[in-house]
Amino acid sequence: MRIGYVSGDFKRHSVANFLLPVFTHHDRRVFEIHCYSNNVSDDDVTGRLMGAVDHWRRISGLDDEVAAKMIAEDGIDILVDLSGHTAHNRLSLFARQPAPVQVTWLGYPGSTGVAAIGYRLVDSITDPPGDSDSYYCEKLIRLDPGFLSYAPLDPAPEPVLRPNGNGRIRFGSFNNPAKLSPATLDLWGRLMNEVEGSVLVLKGRPFADPQVRRMLLKRFLERGIPEERIVLLEHIAAPDQHMGAYGEIDIALDPFPYNGTTTTCEAMWMGVPVVTLLGNRHSSRVGASLLTQVELTDLIAADEAEFIRIAADLAADAERRAILRQTLRGRMKASPLCDGPGLTRRLEESFRRIRT
């Protein structure tokens, strides 16, 4: 069976953390893996992805008609979109139906709205059976217990317990600042007012801009949080230093209604527990999916009051935080969240079922 994957993110990108485990573990006795790269530029991770598949084609710069003809001539049985409505997607290519079965997965937390894409890969926590099915033009395939498998792209330093001599808890989030919705800022402000003296550490590329920094600090001040309790870190290019920065925080906070995915996995990999608020759509339920897979369901809040209670209780429990710092990476490794072979087998079984 020939499987084709299409993306503009075959490089050092969040998607690669979840794609490499699948490419590595596909059963080559049964499946032939083709990649159609719409990358604007390549890097070292591109080379790793190329080395893990059977065929690599560049389609950046090709119009849809030419790319569709290429895919059809390659005899692709199932074509998988990995971008959805994100940068460098080729949804207009999928609309031409170059493969008999087309699937969307991983890169976008919603429906593509493309009638020619027949299926979407999720799980029963991100998209509970029932009402969730009506939110998509695609038919949902649930890869329970989880729709993705995490593997860090680079070796990470060992988790180190943060010194806390002054007793001030450091909450944190390394998510894209675009996810810091007003509702998220409201809730985090209430939490910080509940946990006296607590600090919030945020990291993101936009914080290099003084105007962005001033704007965000003003928003927290409006919620009763002075700027000395907010730490803004800029982008950190070196992967080991980026991961090491998680050592600056005690508890990670998941934004909503657009949860983190890679950032949540990274935080837990570095021994930092993550508190999430369960929402009513895929984008606000990914955190719950990830935490369920590592058996930390007590960190999933059903409402805002419970979110504050969970985070405040964890802030007061230094012993539990220390244990999690030491054991959370091992817990992840032993969980479905890092079971690349298991997810790949479920994915392949789904491909067998939907092949026409």
pLDDT single digits (tens) 246-256: 999 999 999 99
170-336 CATH choice from 2.40.160.50, 3.60.15.10, 3.90.470.10, 3.40.50.2000 = 3.40.50.2000
| Per-residue pLDDT at 69 | 98
By DSSP bridging, strand 199-203 and strand 139-142 are unpaired
The answer regarding whether domain 2-149+339-354 maps to CATH 3.30.450.20 reads no
**268-297 pLDDT, tens digit each:** 999 999 999 999 999 999 999 999 999 999
- Tell me: pLDDT of 41 over 60: yes
- Tell me: pLDDT of 33 over 80: yes
| Per-residue pLDDT at 167 | 78
Provide CB contacts within 8 A for 117, sequence distance 6+. Answer: 81, 91, 94, 102, 103, 104, 137, 138
Average pLDDT over residues 243-266: 97
| Amino acid sitting at position 219 | R
- Do 2-149+339-354 and 170-336 show the same overall fold? yes
E-only strand ranges, 135-241: 139-142, 170-173, 199-203, 230-233
Average pLDDT over residues 308-316: 98
- Tell me: pLDDT of 166 over 90: no
Largest CA distance in the chain: 65
CB-CB contact of 80 with 5 (8 Å): yes
| Per-residue pLDDT at 247 | 95
Alpha helix (H) ranges present in 58-138? 64-73, 91-94
**47-99 pLDDT, tens digit each:** 999 999 999 999 999 999 999 999 999 999 999 999 999 999 999 999 999 99
CB-CB contact of 98 with 71 (8 Å): yes
| Per-residue pLDDT at 314 | 98
- Tell me: pLDDT of 129 over 80: yes
Percent of the chain with pLDDT over 90: 97
| Per-residue pLDDT at 22 | 98
- Tell me: pLDDT of 211 over 60: yes
Task: Give the integer Cα–Cα distance in Å for 23 and 343.
Answer: 11
Token pair belonging to 289: 């999916």
Q: Where are the domains positioned within the chain?
A: 2-149+339-354, 170-336
| Per-residue pLDDT at 162 | 82
**pTM higher than the cut 0.75:** yes
| Per-residue pLDDT at 123 | 98
- Tell me: pLDDT of 165 over 60: no
Provide CB contacts within 8 A for 349, sequence distance 6+. Answer: none
Average pLDDT, the chain: 97
| Per-residue pLDDT at 347 | 98
